Amino acid sequence: MSSQPVKSVTPFDFRSDFEQQSTEPDKISLTVAELAGLLEDARRTTADMLRNEQVQQQADAMRASSEALKTALAQIVQLAELLETASFSDEIRDEALTRVRALAAELIDGQGNLFHP
């Protein structure tokens, strides 16, 4: 054994490979092809996200328009039922029912136009 006293102890970062720890920051190296691939993947992912968002917005708009159309048609049916039982002359009742049916037909036939600005 040594008879000299220990003056200082230097800490050692234990690593199983006993390599000296690097003081340089980690670096990533990419080839041009790898970078182009990453950029293309980011572009494709962003385009997919935007397309999905637009499709969802269109579906929501169609769902809302469909619900509004159902409500309007239900109200027209109620109006037609009311007109059938109202005390009008047969001529006025027939004219009113004809107009209500024409309105309902227009809504049903033109419902595809409700979804386009």
Q: In whole angstroms, what is the distance from residue 10 CA to residue 64 CA?
A: 72
Structure confidence at residue 22 as a pLDDT band (50, 70, 90): low
pLDDT at position 92 over 80: yes
In 3D, which of 103, 96, 66 has the Cα closest to residue 81?
Answer: 96
- What is the tally of structural domains in the chain? 1
Q: Is residue 104 in some structural domain?
A: yes
Residue 82, pLDDT score: 85
pLDDT at position 81 over 70: yes
Return the percentage of the chain with pLDDT > 90, whole number. Answer: 26
Q: Is residue 18 in some structural domain?
A: no
Residue 113, pLDDT score: 57
Q: Is residue 12 in some structural domain?
A: no
Q: Is residue 11 in some structural domain?
A: no
Q: Is residue 108 in some structural domain?
A: yes
Q: Determine the structural domain holding residue 48 and report its residue range.
A: 32-115
Q: Is residue 22 in some structural domain?
A: no
Q: Is residue 1 in some structural domain?
A: no
